[in-house]
Chains A and B, each alone.
Chain A
Amino acid sequence: AQKVTQAQTEISVVEKEDVTLDCVYETRDTTYYLFWYKQPPSGELVFLIRRNSFDEQNEISGRYSWNFQKSTSSFNFTITASQVVDSAVYFCALSEAWETSGSRLTFGEGTQLTVNP
């Protein structure tokens, strides 16, 4: 069965520090997709990124970067030069391709990131 583990429950940093959020996943499927979502204090879930299991190329988007390593089943998320507005709960999620007619996201427990001024 699929599983996503975010071992860091809470992280607190000072503004401008770099911070990495860890995500480890388990799946028996060879084709799968990994996602990161952000949940700010307002409560909505905001889609950040999707990677498929065949694309291990790291991705950078502004201050955000993602490191996908199949060898360690990890999909870590780094925020460079963090800002107060980055304070949120961040969720890593997994979707497996075995479901040929539909899909579901399996979420990790989330990491509460607090960026202090």
Chain B
Amino acid sequence: DSGVTQTPKHLITATGQRVTLRCSPRSGDLSVYWYQQSLDQGLQFLIQYYNGEERAKGNILERFSAQQFPDLHSELNLSSLELGDSALYFCASSPRGGLAGDEQYFGPGTRLTVT
């Protein structure tokens, strides 16, 4: 158990809908990352927050947005869902400054199925 929690574990929804994935980092970690794992694209970095501020952005679609709250939990919002958004979404957290070289500890993931 990494100490990173993600809810829900599974989510099934229809195309066009909007969902929110939630993540709580390990105690004391200020940095949160979101990744998407799909069969065709592999593991892809989406976005990083550090203490409430966006720090790095990957190939995150405009339909997706994220934020980190004052209590350090983070939410990933996915809207206008398409079949291709079906994937495993991971949240990770890291100690120290959230810079290159920090090891990232991953949560169990949320499996999103869009039908």
Contact = CB atoms under 8 A, between A and B. Distances in A.
B109 A44 contact: yes
B105 interface: yes
Contacts, number: 78
A33 B96 CA distance: 15
Contact of B42 (A33, A104, A109): A109
Given A33-B101, A43-B88, A103 B48 contact: yes
A105 interface: yes
A102 B99 contact: yes
Contact of B103 (A50, A91, A96): A50
What's the interface size class on B, roughly? 20 to 34
A97 B56 CA distance: 12
Interface in A49-68: 50, 52
Interface residues of A, number: 30
B18 interface: no
A108 B56 CA distance: 20
A96 B43 contact: no
B43 A101 contact: no
Given A97-B100, A110-B42, A104 B106 contact: no
- Residue among B55, B104, B111 with most chain A CB within 10 A: B104
Interface string A28-43: 0001110101000011
A18 B45 CA distance: 32
A46 B88 CA distance: 15
Interface in B58-115: 58, 88, 90, 92, 94, 98-109, 111
Contacts of B107: 44
Contacts of A107: 42-44
18 contacts: A33-B101, A42-B108, A43-B108, A45-B92, A91-B43, A95-B101, A101-B50, A101-B56, A102-B55, A102-B98, A102-B99, A103-B55, A103-B56, A103-B98, A103-B102, A105-B104, A107-B44, A110-B42
